[in-house]
């Protein structure tokens, strides 16, 4: 039997990989792998810093986390987040995520909706418990509310809801200096949608549509690859990234991808396009685990995701159980509306 390589077509709206495109109204879009990584590493391509706000509001949180910090204070704040993650063993996170997923499947009646039952609840709940929040269940709801307004541009009603949710998290967390507390809570918020999106993508691409074929035959019979979940997720991250891109602004004139960009140029870095750069990933639409170059989905450079290992462990724990016990339900998944996140709003599985 010859195993075929599954192909995953680009997500709708993914720009083709090519030279930078410049629009006088919106700025510069980078789609090539080398250009995206260069911008992530360039000191002159910065995340616009958030202004501090009233204590224990969304503006307070955004104003203190490393994600939205100016370069001169970013390292210290990033160190605070890393210190909170340091005691957490990824293997233990994976095992606890698997246990909670199995419990949810044991309670399922017929079908189970991955986004509502697992994708946020399990990873955020496990992480909240390990970070010492007094009520992890309440923390899950609060974190999801904050995540919905975390990026700039959220409407006023979402911000008001997030203000209340930040106050809830602060009450649930152990006392700590403001920067340490904010960066501990920020880990939960940053893990929320990105990990949910990864679990959704993993379920969509790794689960079989039928319970009949044995695991070893799935690559040939259904397009679902067989192998270790953790290894396969690296290729899922490349082909169906939960974070499709990120934004930067130039603080001085820079030369990127053969283009001279002046101070103040908005940059859009497209991870989804760069992850299919044929110069880096031969057969870019084919699912080929074990590629030597990493996807840029978790970022790179000084602001690369500090919790990459932990997020992968949590997603792997959930998907290990889903792959063992479930198949995809008929029908296409639906996705939340967001320009740069790909998080399913409905994706059902059937325990078998």
Q: How does pLDDT run across 234-267, given as a tens digit for each residue?
A: 999 999 999 999 999 999 999 999 999 999 999 9
Task: Label residues 157-191 b or e (16+ Cβ within 10 Å = b).
Answer: ebeebbbebbbbbbebbeebeebbbbbbbbbbbbb
Instruction: Tell me which residues of the chain have a pLDDT lower than 70.
Output: 1-4, 210-224
| CATH number for region 21-351 | 1.10.630.10
Looking at the DSSP assignment, which residues form a beta bridge with residue 109?
111
Listed residue (134, 194, 144, 141) closest to 170, CA to CA: 134
Looking at the DSSP assignment, which residues form a beta bridge with residue 351?
326
The confidence score (pLDDT) of residue 210 equals: 60
The confidence score (pLDDT) of residue 109 equals: 85
The confidence score (pLDDT) of residue 88 equals: 97
The confidence score (pLDDT) of residue 212 equals: 45
Using CA atoms, how far apart are residues 335 and 12, in angstroms rounded to an integer? 12
The confidence score (pLDDT) of residue 25 equals: 87
Element (H, E) at 350: strand 348-351
The answer to whether the CB of 203 falls within 8 A of the CB of 322 is: yes
Collapse the DSSP code of 56 into the 3-class scheme (helix H, G, I; strand E, B; otherwise coil) and give the result: coil
Element (H, E) at 351: strand 348-351
Using CA atoms, how far apart are residues 242 and 289, in angstroms rounded to an integer? 18
């Amino acid at each position: 039997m010859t195993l075929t390589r599954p192909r995953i077509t680009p997500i709708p709206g993914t720009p083709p990989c090519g030279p930078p495109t410049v629009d006088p109204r919106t700025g510069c879009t980078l789609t090539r792998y080398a250009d995206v990584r260069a911008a992530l590493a360039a000191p002159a391509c910065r995340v616009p810093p958030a202004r501090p706000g009233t204590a224990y509001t969304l503006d307070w949180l955004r104003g203190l986390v490393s994600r939205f910090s100016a370069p001169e204070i970013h390292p210290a704040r990033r160190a605070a987040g890393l210190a909170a993650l340091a005691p957490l063993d990824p293997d233990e996170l994976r095992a606890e995520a698997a246990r909670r997923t199995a419990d949810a499947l044991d309670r399922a009646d017929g079908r189970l909706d991955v986004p509502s039952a697992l994708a946020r609840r399990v990873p955020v709940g496990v992480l909240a418990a390990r970070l010492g929040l007094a009520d992890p269940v309440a923390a899950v709801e609060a974190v999801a509310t904050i995540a919905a307004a975390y990026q700039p541009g959220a409407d006023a009603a979402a911000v008001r809801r997030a203000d209340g949710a930040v106050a809830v998290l602060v009450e649930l967390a152990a006392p700590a200096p403001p920067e340490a507390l904010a960066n501990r809570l920020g880990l939960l918020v940053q893990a929320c949608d990105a990990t949910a999106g990864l679990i959704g993508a993993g379920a969509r691409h790794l689960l079989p549509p039928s319970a009949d074929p044995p695991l070893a035959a799935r690559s040939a019979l259904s397009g679902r690859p067989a192998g270790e979940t953790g290894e396969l997720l690296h290729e899922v991250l490349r082909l169906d990234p939960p974070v499709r891109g990120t934004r930067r602004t130039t603080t001085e004139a820079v030369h990127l991808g053969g283009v001279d960009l002046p101070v103040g140029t908005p940059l859009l870095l497209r991870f989804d396009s760069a992850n299919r750069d044929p110069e880096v990933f031969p057969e870019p639409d084919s699912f080929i685990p074990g590629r030597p170059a990493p996807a840029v989905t978790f970022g790179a450079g000084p602001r690369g995701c500090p919790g990459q290992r932990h997020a992968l462990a949590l997603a792997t724990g959930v998907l290990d159980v889903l792959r063992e016990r479930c198949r995809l339900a008929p029908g296409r998944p639906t996705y939340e509306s967001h320009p740069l996140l790909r998080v399913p709003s409905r994706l059902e599985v059937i325990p078998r």
